[in-house]
Amino acid sequence: SWINAGGIDAERVAYGNKHPLGQQIARCADSTRTVVVEAAEVHVLTDATFEHQTQASTGQTTGKWLVKFYAPWCGHCKKLAPVWDELADKVEVESPGDGILLAKVDCTKEKAVCGRFKVRGYPTLLYFAERSMFRYSGGRDVDSLAAFATGGYKESKGEAVPVPPSWVDEKVKEIRKMVDSNEHIRMVADDFEHIVQMRKNAAFVLVAIGLVVGLMLGCVLGSKKTMSKSKKE
């Protein structure tokens, strides 16, 4: 027999390939092979990794990024999830040279980056390409999304990409959180902010009066010094 206990005897099949029966067994062997196709990756972006990976506001040299901002409880987001995976496979196979990458951001966890792009509804689909940002509002099927990512975005108006918050902005947020957590400090800060906003004219008048008084005192003191010097002479 050409079939041993462990399957097909490779040496005998190789020899028997010259025989019609051997050729038939070889074809059967090929048909039983399992081909494993690895799915394209959908990148998971966070507050910490978004700008580093996408370089959205610093040149976009890592590729074109089609990003889904979603919430796990959102029904529309759940329906889009398998479409998003299929889209990743489609652009990788059909447009490998375009450098298109698919990603997703969970806005229930990544508050900073979702706030940066002013995400208000789910899912929000943004495409970062050619140093601009394009909002997608078309059909949520694979073909429509692929057409947009591979060139259709050029027909829509691009927006400037919001820059990530600076170190100072982050520190201000931290201080604000600390202030908000303390009721007494928060009340004082709110009162001060209210005074600054509502009494800008009064504050300007006080500053102006201070400058005038300062100049007058300077003139008086200066004249007294001059008179004392003249008397000595």
The residues assigned a catalytic role are: 74, 77
The answer to whether 57 and 105 have CB atoms below 8 angstroms apart is: no
123 preceded by a cis bond (ω within 30 of 0):
yes
Compute CA distances 199 → 185, 188, 206, 208, whole Å.
21, 16, 11, 14
Distance CA 47, CA 5 (A): 56
Q: What is the 3-state secondary structure (H, E, C) of the chain?
A: CCEECCEECHHHHHHHCCCHHHHHHHHHHHHCCCCCCCCCCEEECCCCCHHHHHCCCCCCCCCEEEEEEECCCCHHHHHHHHHHHHHHHHHHHHCHHHCEEEEEEECCCCHHHHHHCCCCCCCEEEEEECCEEEEECCCCCHHHHHHHHCCHHHHCCCECCCCCCCHHHHHHHHHHHHHHHCHHHHHHHHHHHHHHHHCHHHHHHHHHHHHHHHHHHHHHHHHHHHHHHHHHC
